Structure 1
Amino acid sequence: MPTDPRVIWIMAGEASGDILGARLMEAIRRRSPSIAFAGIGGPRMEALGLHSLFPMRDLSVMGLVEVLPRLRFLRRRLNEAVRDIELRRPDLIVTIDSPGFALRLLRRIKNLGIPRVHYVAPQVWAWREHRVKEFPGLWDRLLCLLPFEQDYFSEFDLDGRFVGHPVLQSEADQGDADRFRRRHDIRPDAPVLILMPGSRHSEAPRLMPVFGRMLALLKRRYPTLVPVLPVSSGIADSVRAQAARWPIAPVIVTDLHDKHDAFAAAGAALTKSGTSTLELALAGVPMAVTYRVNPLTAAAVRRMIKVGHVAMVNLLAGRTIVPELLQENCRPDILAETVSKLLSDPAVANAQRGAFAEVLASLRPETGTPADAAADAVMELLPR
C-alpha cells in the first residue's frame, strides 16, 4: 500500500480533548491508514503514535485568576507550537477545545495558508459574545458539538458543522454495577455516591473540602454510604491526599471502565458543570451540579454570562432538570440535603432520567458516530 505523505498537526490541551483527539485520529485512519500526525496531546493520542511536542498537562489550567501566574510559561509553549508548525508545514491543522491556547495559536498561524479546523465551538453564545468578531479568518471550519451552534455561528458568516456530541461514544452507559461492588467490596445495599470535582489541578481543591464536610452530614443518615471519586490519573495523588481528611474513605477510580461500572452502581452524583453531566445523563445517574471558583473569577463571569443555566443538560433541555448549586450555594448543608433527595426519593430520580433521554437524542449526528462525522468534516478540507 502506498504511503500517504500527508501530515495533520493536531492539538489537545486537556483530558477531554485528548479523548476527542484520539477518537478523531482513529476515524481519520480508517479513511486513510497512513496519514501521519504531529502536535500536542495526552496519553490517549500518544498511544496512537502521536509524539507530543510537550506534555499536554502544561496547558491544563483554567480561570482568570489561576492563569495569570503562568502567562509567561504559556506564552513560551505557544511560541514552541508556532515554530513547530512553521517548520513542519503540515497539510492541515486541527485544534481541539482549549480556546485560551488554541485560538491564540490559530491567530499566529493564520497567514501560513494551511487549512485549519477547530473542534469544539467556543461557548461565546453563553458569555462574551463580542469575541465572535475575532473569529473570522481563524479557521476554515468549526466543528460543533451542540445542535444549536451551527445556526448560531452561521449568523456571523462562520462555517460551523454540527458533528454530534462525543459523549454518545463514551460507553458511560455500559457499566456493570455488580462488578463494581465486587471489585471494591461494597455491600449490595450500600448507597453509592459519585463525586466529580473536576479534572484539572486548579479545580479539585475548591470542591474537595466542601465534599468532605457534606459527607460528615450524610454519614448520619446513610452510615453505609460509599463515596466514589472518578478522577484522572494526573490528579489522583492530589485528590487522595485531600480525601484522607474525609470522615468516609472514598473509592478513588482512575480506570475508565471502572468509572462506568461506578456509574451503574450509583444512586446519585455531584459533579462540576461540563461534559461530566452528559456522561452521567447517559448512564442514567440522578445528579446535582455544583461548582466553586475564585470569587474574582465568579464575579467577572456573572457580569458576562448570557444563558440561564450552567449545567449542560439544563441548557439543552431549556429548563431545570438538575439542581445547580454554585458559589454561595456550594455549601455542605445544601449539598447534603440535595443528595439526600436524590438517594431517597424515586420520583425525583426518575424525573431526571426521563428528561435525560430527550437531551441525549438532540446530540446525535444525522448518520454514524460523532467521531465519524468529525473525521468526514476534516477530510473534506485535507488537500489531496
Structure 2
Amino acid sequence: MKFFILAGEASGDRLGAALMAGLRQLADVEFVGVGGPLMQAEGLESLFPMDELSVMGIVEVLPKYRHLKRRIRETAEAALASGADVLITIDSPDFSLRVAGLVKARKDMRTVHYVAPSVWAWRAGRAAKMSKVIDHVLALLPFEPPYMEAAGMECDFVGHPVVSEPRASAEDVAAFRTRHGLGDAPALLVLPGSRRGEVGRLGPIFGKALAPVLAKRPEMRLIVPTTAHVAPLLREVVKDWPAEPLILDPANMKSADYKIEKACAFGAATGALAASGTVSLELAASATPMVIAYDVSWISRLIIAMMLRIDTLTLVNLVSETRAIPECNGKHCNPPEIAAALEKMLTAPGAQLAAMDLTMERLGRGGEAPGLRAARAVLAGMGRQ
C-alpha cells in the first residue's frame, strides 16, 4: 500500500513518524509526502522543508499567503500523481484540508486527517466543512469522536503519543546533569515554542519574566530544548535573558539521541515555563509542574477571543477537567504576571500533579502505543484489518 502523508509542524512530525512506524509494523507500505526529520528518519523523502508550513496566527500568515497557496497546489498535484491509496494529513488544518479539497475535487482518494480540529474550542462549523473532504479522523483526545461523527465522518480515538514516550531513568538524569555541569542546582525548562514566530514574539517576554525569578533563585539553571530550524534565532533571543541558558539543539545529533537528551532535561527540571500547545502534555507525562504563557498579534488576539468557546487553552486542564495549570495568555502574557505565576508554581509545585496524572490516564497510558493504534484504525478504515 502507498500512503501520501503530510505534516506541517514539529508536533505533526512526531505523530507522522509514529504512525508510519505502526503502518510498517502491520503491512507492506510505501510513503511519499511532506514531513520533518522524524518522518524522514522513518523513510520519507520530503517534497520540501516542512518548516515552510509552520506559521501560526491569522495576521502572521498574510505575508506568506502566496507562497503557502503555491505549496498547497504543488502538494495536491504531488498527491494526485503519486498513485497513493490514501492521503493522510496531520494537523495544520488550514493547509492540510485545502490540499485534501483539491485532491477530492479530482479523484475519489480516501482521506484521513490525524488530529481532530478543536471545534469544541472555536469555529464549530469547521467539522461540517471538513466532512466534505475528509473520510476518517484520528482523534487524540477522548471526548472528540462525537463531534466528528455528528458531522458525518468516521472517527477513532487513538490516544496521544505522549503517553508512550519513554521517561528518563534516574541514572540518565544524573548523567545528564553531570554532562552539562548542572550539579544539584534546580533547573527550569523554558519552552517558547517550536515556530520562529513564536520564539521571536515570546522569547523576549519570557526573558523579562525570568529576571525577578532568578534574582530570588540565583542558583537556578535554565534549559531550553529547541528545533534545528529555530535554534539560530533562539541563540540571538537569549542574549538578552538574565542568565545564559543551556540550549539543547538537535543539529548534528541523531534523532534518537536528541530524544533521550530532551527526556533527561524534562526529568531534571524543577518546573517549566512553556508556550501553549502539545508541550503541556509532554510536561505532564514527565510530572513537571508548569506555567503556560502564549500570545499572538493583537489583531489575531481580538479575532480569536471573539470565537473562543472555552476558558482555557491548556490541554492538561481540558482533559483532566480541572484548571490546575496556570495560564498567562493574551493580555496576561506579560512579564509581571508570568513571573508571579512562576513564583507560585515553584513554591507549591505539587498542586498540579493529580491533574497531570489523570490526564495521562485518560490519554491512554498503559495501553497499546498510539502510533500503532492509529495505524490499525487507518487500515481498518481501508478494510485491511
Report the TM range for the smaller structure's normalisation: over 0.9
Equivalent residues in 2 for 1:1-384 (5 A)? 6-32=1-27, 34-111=28-105, 112-172=107-167, 176-188=172-184, 190-254=185-249, 255-343=258-346, 345=347, 348-364=348-364, 367-382=367-382
Shift of 1:174: 5.0
Q: Which moved more, 1:173-182 or 1:193-202?
A: 173-182
1:142 maps to amino acid = V
Q: Answer with 305-314 or 214-223: which moved more.
A: 214-223
| TM-superposed deviation, 1:147 | 0.3
Contact 1:291/1:326 (8 A) holds in 2: yes
* Structure 1 range deviating more: 95-104 or 211-220: 211-220
Partner deviation per Cα, 1:239-298 (whole Å, 9 max, x = no partner): 011101222000111332222111111111111111100100110111111012101111
Change (3 A) 1:152 1:211: same
Paired amino acid for 2:97? L
- Mean CA deviation greater in 83-92 or 196-205: 83-92
Q: Which ranges of structure 1 fall in alignment gaps of 5 or more residues? A: 1-5
Say if 1:148 and 1:366 are closer, same or farther in 2 by CA, change over 3 A.
farther
Kindly provide the CA deviation profile for residues 179-232 of structure 1, in whole angstroms up to 9, marking residues without a partner as x.
2211110131x2211111000011111111112112221222111111111111
Q: TM-score, normalised by structure 1?
A: 0.94
The answer for the alignment partner of 1:3 in structure 2 is none
Deviation string for 1:135-186 (max 9, x for gaps)? 2231221000000001222222321110011111222465733122111101
In the TM superposition, what is the alpha-carbon distance from 1:372 to its structure 2 partner?
1.1
In structure 2, do the counterparts of structure 1 residues 105 and 365 end up closer, same or farther at CA, with 3 Å as the change threshold? farther
Mapped to 1, the partners of 2:175 and 2:82 lie a distance apart of 47
CA–CA separation in structure 1 for the residues paired with 2:324 and 2:233: 32
**2:17 is matched by which residue type in structure 1?**
A
One-letter code of the match for 1:121?
A
| C-alpha separation in 2, matches of 1:294 and 1:196 | 19
In structure 1, the residue matched to 2:253 is none
Q: Is the 8 A contact 2:127 2:147 kept in 1?
A: no
SS at match of 2:381: coil
1:354 alignment partner AA: A
Write out per-residue CA displacement over residues 332-358 of structure 1, whole angstroms, 9 at most, x where no aligned residue: 222222222222x3xx31121122111
Residue 329 of structure 1: how far off its partner (Å): 1.6
Distance 1:370 1:78 in 2: 28
Note if contact 2:163-2:365 (Cα within 8 Å) is conserved in structure 1: no
Q: Which moved more, 1:265-274 or 1:128-137?
A: 128-137
Question: TM-score, normalization: structure 2?
Answer: 0.93
Structure 2 gap segments, 5+ residues each: 250-257
Aligned length: 374
Q: What displacement does 1:365 show?
A: 7.8
Are the structure 2 counterparts of residues 286 and 88 from structure 1 closer, same or farther at C-alpha, using a change threshold of 3 Å?
Answer: same
Query: Kindly, what percent of the aligned residue pairs are identical?
Result: 39
Separation in structure 2 between the aligned mates of residue 116 and residue 182 of structure 1, nearest angstrom: 48
Inter-CA distance 366–155: structure 2 relative to 1 (3 Å threshold): farther
Q: CA deviation at 1:366?
A: 9.3
Once residues 365 and 28 of structure 1 are traced to their aligned partners in structure 2, the CA distance between those partners, rounded to angstroms, is 21
